[in-house]
Amino acid sequence: MDDLPLDALWVYLSGSPLLALTATLACYLIATRLFERSGQFALLNPVLVSVTVLAFGLVASGVSYANYFEGAQFIHFLLGPATVALALPLYRELPTLRRHLLPIVLAMSAGLASTVGSTLLIPRVTGMDELLRLSIAPKSVTAPVAMGISERIGGVPSLTAVFAIITGVLGAMIAVPLLTKLRIKDDAAKGLAIGLVSHGIGTARAFRISERAGAYSGLAMALTAMITATGLPYLIGWLGS
Amino acid sequence: MKLLVGFTALLCLQLAGEIVTRLFALPIPGPVVGLFLLLVALPLIPGLAELVDDAAQALLAHLSLLFIPAGVGVIVYIGRLDGVIVAASATLVGSTVIGLCVTALTLQRLMRGRSTRLDDAGDATISEH
């Protein structure tokens, strides 16, 4: 009776992209402000906070994820041009990058070997079944590439996307405290490590350190995606999973 | 206007990347190919960096925001991790920590031997832009 107009309003709002877009932007702005105010406290990572708040909002209001994504896809779409844009900070680093080419290649190789190695080894030790092991294997790669790899090696792509995104948020959260503790001072080293283990979400965090860290993180992310996509299926085949 | 031109240029490169990926059946997504296309084009086309700068800055300044829609999807699927939470967490945390330490320590150690002089040279080249 009295709440009928409200019902109609809700039907309209939940069906239009406006509400999902506004909620996502507002959550992000508040979460970012909170993160900066807290002195960049790791647990208050803006992606983690926004995602948690929005997910609770969906559950509480009974709006489906598909429905939410219809609005939020306009934000999601911008990931494409943003990835292309990573070339610009990288281009500005090219003179330094050329001078340190050998150390970068060696650090990338060591980093990839240890990341992929431990991602294959730990699930065996902890007794994960084969399907899960294959689904978690490409988790340090940006989600769309990781899903493609997962499909080829026989994992579950949607599960791989979950592992990849959790890895990204995890890397973005722990990287700065961990690297500070290790006394890593060079932003190039910070960025390269962050991009290698935690792809785009980590790269977003690296840009908050400096433009330089972001550039190296973007580079590591792109190279990790290319190398893992070409190499991992062979490695898995060779190891016989 | 410059923002719009820059954004269009980025979309064109993404489109070119998508076309290349599909034509050659590459295992990497179009935007990553677009990244490398732009990296190759930047030194070849004078003024291109200036042109895409505003759009690139705008997108990269809020890169975190762009991952939120996909991130919310994780919560939808997280119930499927029931029963493997411990093993999965051990893998994700373990390999992330190992990868971060190995990469950063290797690079910092290898660069330290030749760092100061080369970094100065590098910075000098950058400030010429």
Tell me the pLDDT tens digit for each residue of B7-57: 999 999 999 999 999 999 888 888 989 999 999 999 999 999 999 999 999
Q: Domain check: are B59 and B80 in the same one? A: no
Task: Let me know: does B10 contact A81? Beta carbons within 8 Å.
Answer: yes
Residue closest to A141 by CA, chosen among A89, A208, A195 = A195
Percent of chain B scoring above 70 in pLDDT: 87
Q: Domain check: are B58 and B74 in the same one? A: no
Does any CB of chain A come closer than 8 Å to the CB of residue B29?
yes
Count up the domains in chain B and report the number.
2
Domain boundary (B66, B99, B115) is at: B66
Q: How confident is the model at residue B120 (pLDDT cuts 50, 70, 90)?
A: very low
Q: What is the extent of the structural domain holding B113?
A: 70-129
Q: Is the pLDDT of residue B66 over 90?
A: yes
* Residues of chain B neighbouring A122 (CB-CB closer than 8 A): 87, 90-91, 94-95
d(CA A97, CA A17) in angstroms, rounded, equals 43
pLDDT digits (tens, 9 = 90+) for A82-130: 999 999 999 998 998 899 999 999 999 999 999 999 999 999 999 899 9
Does any CB of chain A come closer than 8 Å to the CB of residue B81?
yes
Q: Domain check: are B18 and B5 in the same one? A: yes
Q: Domain check: are B80 and B115 in the same one? A: yes
The confidence score (pLDDT) of residue B113 equals 66
Average pLDDT over every residue of A46-73: 92
State how far residue B112 is from chain A, nearest Cα, in angstroms.
9
Provide the mean pLDDT of chain A. 91
Task: Please name the member of B94, B100, B119 whose beta carbon is closest to the beta carbon of A178.
Answer: B100
Q: Domain check: are B83 and B44 in the same one? A: no
Residues 6+ apart with CB under 8 A from A31: A44, A46, A47, A49, A50, A53
Residues 2-31 of A with CB under 8 A from B: 24-25, 27-28
Percent of chain A scoring above 90 in pLDDT: 77
Q: Domain check: are B76 and B59 in the same one? A: no
**3-class secondary structure per residue, chain A:** CCCHHHHHHHHHHHHCHHHHHHHHHHHHHHHHHHHHHCCCCHHHCHHHHHHHHHHHHHHHHCCCHHHHHHHHHHHHHCHHHHHHHCHHHHHHHHHHHHHCHHHHHHHHHHHHHHHHHHHHHHHHHCCCCHHHHHHHCCCCCCHHHHHHHHHHHCCCHHHHHHHHHHHHHHHHHHHHHHHHHCCCCCHHHHHHHHHHHHHHHHHHHHHHHCHHHHHHHHHHHHHHHHHHHHHHHHHHHHHCC
Q: Domain check: are B41 and B74 in the same one? A: no
State how far residue B118 is from chain A, nearest Cα, in angstroms.
7
Residue closest to A17 by CA, chosen among A60, A76, A59 = A76
pLDDT digits (tens, 9 = 90+) for A162-177: 999 999 999 999 999 9
Does any CB of chain B come closer than 8 Å to the CB of residue A101?
no
Largest CA distance in chain B: 56
Determine the residue among B4, B5, B66 to mutate to test chain A binding: the one whose Cβ has the most chain A Cβ atoms within 10 Å.
B66
What is the ipTM, given to two decimal places?
0.89
